[in-house]
Structure 1
């Protein structure tokens, strides 16, 4: 598909607990705009009128509370163990997030490059529209420890179910152009700075 903008677009992904957000904070400190697709999708689910209407049509009135707030508990129960329902939700959300991202990119044409952060960037297929893809890598046992520390409300069963739904580290690395090692054995900042310089140079062309 044709490229939408003149600015260099870089994707960053990784399994839950890999440390995407930490890496993005380093890029952000270097002045690079970050589009957090996961946060924006949550915002759009509860605030975009077109998407809200589609959710009500697809999942019924219970998708929203009487105060017209997104019923996240109901929706999670509907889709978490039901692949067909999850596919319906993704078919509604992913295109809208894509449109929102395109609008955001238009506002950052002067940047050296932009970063799109998303846990399911590869699974959703949206990485194909980007110039480069980074994956943040960490061993599964370390990722689990990070998740437990960050989200103590999650059970091991929930954590295992989330990891199972995502691609393996090996699958991500086969597709990604660059791998950032966040296992704790290498410093993060030098890895990010090296990529930053590369992308800045590519963005000038």
Structure 2
């Protein structure tokens, strides 16, 4: 089994890389998807969020009020840390369960937006960081996702810097070009850095 940690700043293109690695044969464990599931309606995680931040964090239907929570945590580091203390242990437990259920010879890719911020770099055989220029990331967030520029900058500022991510990376993918160029880089990494490692492990 080869454990790969995949991370990158918001709007750098990490999800596109994750999808292609899955297409190439990796077992993908998506921390964002798990984080959403652990605060589903009726879950203990959601109940703890409501207790910590108040009933305004719930919609009338009893779901997580994501816009309200996002506005709070990206403006308040203490609130962000509190939320992380609720969500991250549950995410790690579910990721470990999924990893344990994978075949023994699998390539496991864990897509973790906050891999660097949560100090998980040393947990992996290989750490891949997806990077893109700041102005391009802002453009994607504002034009493609419809975000307010101030909100976009706040979200970027709440994450690790490019230098901090590069410091833990074994491989940095530069996603400043086209999707075809990105796919070519990912294919080369798979053939050069991942496939040989799994062959040796057999």
> Structure 1 pair 74/141, CA: closer, same or farther in 2 (3 Å)?
closer
> Structure 1 pair 95/180, CA: closer, same or farther in 2 (3 Å)?
same
Q: Residue in 1 aligned with 2:52?
A: 58
Larger displacement relative to structure 2 (176-185 or 41-50): 41-50
The alignment covers a number of residue pairs equal to 198
**Could you tell me which of 28, 31, 35 is aligned with 1:37?**
31
**Could you tell me which of 96, 100, 103 is aligned with 2:97?**
103
Tell me, yes or no, if structure 1 residue 202 matches structure 2 residue 192: no
SS at match of 2:40: helix
Tell me, yes or no, if structure 1 residue 128 matches structure 2 residue 122: yes
Using the TM superposition, give the Cα deviation of residue 126 of structure 1 relative to its aligned residue in structure 2, in angstroms.
Answer: 2.5
CA contact (8 A) 2:136 2:176 kept: yes
Q: Give, in whole Å, the separation in 1 of the partners of 2:66 and 2:142.
A: 21
> Structure 1 pair 134/85, CA: closer, same or farther in 2 (3 Å)?
same
- Structure 2's unaligned 5+ residue stretches are none
Q: Give, in whole Å, the separation in 2 of the partners of 1:18 and 1:95.
A: 25
**Could you tell me which of 154, 176, 182 is aligned with 1:188?**
182
CA contact (8 A) 2:25 2:107 kept: no
RMSD: 2.0
SS at match of 2:29: strand
> Structure 1 pair 176/64, CA: closer, same or farther in 2 (3 Å)?
same
Q: Residue in 2 aligned with 1:81?
A: 75
SS at match of 2:163: helix
Q: Residue in 2 aligned with 1:91?
A: 85
Using the TM superposition, give the Cα deviation of residue 48 of structure 1 relative to its aligned residue in structure 2, in angstroms.
Answer: 6.8
> Structure 1 pair 47/31, CA: closer, same or farther in 2 (3 Å)?
farther
Q: Give, in whole Å, the separation in 2 of the partners of 1:117 and 1:59.
A: 27
> Structure 1 pair 65/189, CA: closer, same or farther in 2 (3 Å)?
closer
CA contact (8 A) 1:133 1:176 kept: yes
SS at match of 1:190: helix
Q: TM-score, normalised by structure 1?
A: 0.87
Q: Residue in 2 aligned with 1:173?
A: 166
- Structure 1's unaligned 5+ residue stretches are 1-6
